[in-house]
């Protein structure tokens, strides 16, 4: 899964198609897992740990109909026209609606497992593009393009979005810069998940209707993605925090649903006790937030946020994207 530092929202069509978008993101050590155990019959067993659900289907040669019940899995089965039975176990290390790109990481994990099992290798760009097509176009789930590419490529990436292409530029961050950034950062869970689809719908409607505030906010979010990337590459963590704060200001102008009283209280408390800047990771409304803090006041920010019932979540940056492997017990 990923943290999106800047530019989130500019990867959503039609803005990205018309004006181009850009995002700076980094993957962290929270993962989505998909395990496939082939069977000798046509029975399909699905166990999802996160949803506490177990389903049994038949691979009878017909396409699976989308009905809101594990449709992400059905979309992958339909794409590969799977005819053989298998047992699948799914596990995602973040709750749905967390803002860390979990649903896209799940799609990528499922695709990775199937390409490994069926021996149908795909390039990273092909994998990310297919994940986007299945999740956003085939199933119509609202969202942008950054999550699928982050999950596949892994690491720190500056990702540019155009009408017909997505360009991923991996960033080589010096270890001392990465260590300092990690040391100054807090990742915290607000205790509330959110429905990103409604937030993204409102943002898109504002852009399509020509709302000057929304368009200006998106343009500035794109600018800040580039400036935040430059600050990171030069190792200027303090300025990166300042840009993060500016990004949050513009993000709240996408739509009123991006923030709420709970989120505002958390943000103001953090800023009042040593945070330089922060934002919600994802569309907004809840889920995970993160802050860049003064190194010697990070503990104070954590203490004050804990008083609000905010959970501090340990994390590390993870340079690896999708990984697949076979195991025979």
Summary mean pLDDT of the chain? 93
83 and 208 in one domain? no
Q: In the numeric block, which tokens belong to residue 217?
A: 């906010």
SS3 at position 46: strand
CATH code for position 141:
3.30.230.10
- pLDDT at residue 195, as a whole number: 66
CATH code of the domain containing 205: 3.30.70.890
Task: For residue 26, tell me if it sits in a domain.
Answer: no
User: Could you tell me if residue 14 is inside a domain?
Assistant: no
- Domain annotation covers residue 318: no
Active site residues: 147
Same domain, 285 and 200: yes
Whether residues 128 and 180 share a domain: the answer is: no
Three-state DSSP at 200 gives helix
Task: Report the pLDDT value the prediction gives residue 287, as an integer from 0 to 100.
Answer: 87
Q: What is the pLDDT of residue 193?
A: 67
Per the structure, how many domains does the chain have? Answer: 2
Same domain, 81 and 211: no
Asked whether 127 and 108 are in contact (CB, 8 A), the reply is yes
* Residue that is last in its domain, among 168, 184, 205: 168
291 close to 239: Cβ distance less than 8 angstroms = no
Contact 282, 258 (CB under 8 A): no
Domain hosting 161: range is: 32-168
Q: Are residues 213 and 299 in the same domain?
A: yes
> Are residues 220 and 155 located together in one domain of the fold?
no
Residue 194 confidence (pLDDT)? 60
Quick check: 195 and 97 in contact, CB under 8 A?
yes
- Per-residue tens of pLDDT for the chain, all 329 residues: 999 999 999 999 999 999 999 999 999 999 999 999 999 999 999 999 877 789 999 998 888 999 988 999 999 999 999 989 999 999 999 877 788 999 999 999 999 999 999 999 999 999 999 999 999 999 998 889 999 999 999 999 999 999 889 999 999 999 999 999 999 999 999 887 666 778 888 999 999 999 999 999 999 999 999 999 999 999 999 999 999 999 999 999 998 888 899 999 999 999 999 999 999 987 777 889 999 999 999 999 999 999 999 999 999 999 999 999 999 87
DSSP code string of 58-90: E--SSPPPPSSSSHHHHHHHHHHT--S-EEEEE
Are 160 and 217 within one domain?
Answer: no
> Alpha-carbon distance 278 to 247, whole Å?
8
Among 143, 168, 193, residue at a domain's last position: 168
* 106 falls within a domain: yes
Q: Are residues 125 and 255 in the same domain?
A: no
**pLDDT of amino acid 197:** 75
């Amino acid at each position: 899964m990923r943290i999106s530092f800047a530019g989130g929202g500019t990867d959503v069509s039609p803005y990205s198609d018309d004006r181009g978008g850009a995002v700076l993101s980094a993957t962290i050590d929270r993962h989505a897992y998909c395990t496939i155990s082939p069977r000798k019959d046509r029975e399909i067993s699905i166990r999802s740990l996160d949803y506490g659900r177990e389903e049994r289907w038949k691979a009878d040669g017909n396409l699976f109909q989308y009905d809101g019940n594990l449709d992400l899995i059905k979309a992958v089965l339909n794409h590969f026209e799977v005819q053989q039975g298998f047992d699948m176990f799914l596990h995602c290390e973040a709750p749905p609606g967390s803002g860390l790109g979990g649903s896209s990481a799940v799609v990528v994990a499922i695709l990775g497992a199937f390409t490994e099992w069926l021996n149908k290798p795909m390039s990273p760009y092909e994998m990310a593009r297919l994940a986007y097509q299945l999740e956003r176009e085939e199933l119509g789930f609202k969202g942008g393009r950054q999550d699928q590419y982050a999950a596949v490529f892994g690491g720190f990436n500056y990702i540019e979005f155009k009408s017909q292409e997505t360009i991923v530029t991996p960033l080589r961050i010096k270890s001392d810069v990465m260590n300092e950034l990690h040391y100054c950062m807090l990742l915290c869970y607000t205790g509330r998940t959110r429905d990103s689809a409604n937030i993204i719908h409102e943002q898109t409607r504002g852009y399509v209707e020509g709302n000057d505030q929304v368009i200006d906010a998106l343009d500035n979010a794109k600018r800040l993605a580039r400036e935040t990337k430059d600050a990171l590459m030069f190792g200027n963590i303090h300025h990166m925090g300042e840009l993060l704060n500016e990004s949050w200001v513009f993000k709240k102008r996408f739509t009123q649903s991006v923030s709420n009283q709970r989120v505002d209280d958390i943000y103001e408390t953090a800023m009042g006790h040593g945070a330089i800047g922060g934002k919600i990771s994802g569309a907004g409304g809840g889920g995970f937030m993160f802050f860049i803090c003064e190194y010697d006041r990070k503990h104070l920010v954590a203490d004050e946020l804990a008083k609000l019932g905010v959970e501090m979540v340990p994390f590390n940056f993870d340079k690896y994207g999708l990984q697949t492997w076979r195991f025979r017990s």
